[in-house]
Amino acid sequence: MKVLFLNGPNLNLLGTREPQIYGRTTLADIEASVRDKAGSLKVEVEFRQSNSESELVGWIQRARECFSVIVINAAAYTHTSVAIRDSIAACGLPAIEIHLTNTHAREAFRRESFLTPVCKGVIAGFGASSYLLALDAAITVKAA
């Protein structure tokens, strides 16, 4: 089983980006902890980040070739992107939406997600641990 972790805009800045909101953990730190856990669960993972909506859509479209589950933190595109929503719906793979922060406890515009209706579920608000929880969720979704 191979899980594709996709990360959207500005997540490359984790560690220095608004640390009072997103913490000091970098995306590389998160990837390392996910890889560590995945190794012990005998799951393969791939991590990608892009600031480009078009690149994210392309990765989702082609995910079927190599992956069985997508975990996606689409960042700001969560609240704006019909294109990412449609690509998840079209790709035929189960997807899990994740966020570092509890988007429902923040600004009103973050309460709407275009992705939730086409995802199996959402994990939000647990900081870097949202990614580790998503690995468990991916295994659960694959087994179902």
Helices and strands, counts by H and E, the chain: 5, 5
Are 42 and 3 a contacting pair, CB within 8 Å? no
The answer to the question of residue 81 lying near ligand DQA (CB under 6 A) is no
Cβ at position 10, least distance to ligand DQA in Å: 5
Rounded alpha-carbon distances, angstroms, from residue 52 to 49, 59, 83, 121, 134: 9, 11, 12, 24, 23
Cβ at position 75, least distance to ligand DQA in Å: 3
* Total of chain residues touching ligand DQA, rule CB under 6 A: 10
80-103 as b/e: b if 16+ CB within 10 A: ebeebbebbeebebbbbbbbbbeb
The answer to the question of residue 26 lying near ligand DQA (CB under 6 A) is no
Kindly tell me which residue out of 69, 100, 122, 138 binds ligand DQA, with binding defined by CB under 6 A.
100
Kindly tell me which residue out of 1, 2, 10, 51 binds ligand DQA, with binding defined by CB under 6 A.
10
By the criterion CB under 6 A, which residues form the site for ligand DQA?
10, 73, 75-76, 78, 99-101, 103, 110
Active-site residues, by number, are 22, 99
